[in-house]
Amino acid sequence: MNKLYFNIILVIVILAGASLACRLFQGGPPPSPTATPEALPGPTNTLPPIEDLISTPVSGTPGEVEVTLTEAQLTEYARQELSSQPDAILQDPEVRLHDGVIEIFGQVEQGIVSGKARLTLTPTIDEDGKPNLELTSANLGPVPLPQSVLDRFSGIINQMIIDGIESEAPGLRLTEILVTEGKMTVRGQAE
């Protein structure tokens, strides 16, 4: 009888410990410092809609479009988009741009699992002029996610971006995505 009680208590302690471990703050990498620190826009500093930025042609070149976005603008766009989704897993996103790479940091809350997350994306353009963001790495706290999860999320992210561009700027064919310290410049041809 004592052995049965001991086993029951042991199972309860293990389950409580596992549950607590999943709820504890998981370290994870902090956002990398930005080369051009900017204050994030507040509620009074509304950002122009993406379609307004895309519809501004490069001077002197009919049909050519160039948009430069800062980390602060991309962070604000991501926050606005995620705040409109009540079931969004990623909270409080922060975008960092450097050396051809887009990093997104945030807090993940899903059931009993919570922790800091980091997504690293490399932008390219396919032969049809559509953007392709390759999710090259992702961490939840200190734990890297497996390649199968990265591939699945890459597909989801890319479809969302393509759908957004096609709805906001139909006929836009991208020619270049340049990511530098704190800025991302996207060039394309409006058809």
Q: What is the pLDDT of residue 99?
A: 94
CA distance 151 to 156: 9
pTM above 0.75, yes or no: no
| pLDDT, block means (10 residues), the chain with 191 residues | 53 51 49 47 52 56 81 88 80 92 88 85 91 88 85 78 74 90 90 73
Q: What is the pLDDT of residue 39?
A: 44
CA distance 106 to 96: 11
Q: What is the pLDDT of residue 97?
A: 94
Q: What is the pLDDT of residue 179?
A: 94
Q: What is the pLDDT of residue 95?
A: 92
Read off the tokens for 93. 């996103």
Q: What is the pLDDT of residue 71?
A: 92
Q: What is the pLDDT of residue 143?
A: 86
- Continuous H helices in the chain: 2-23, 50-54, 71-83, 147-168
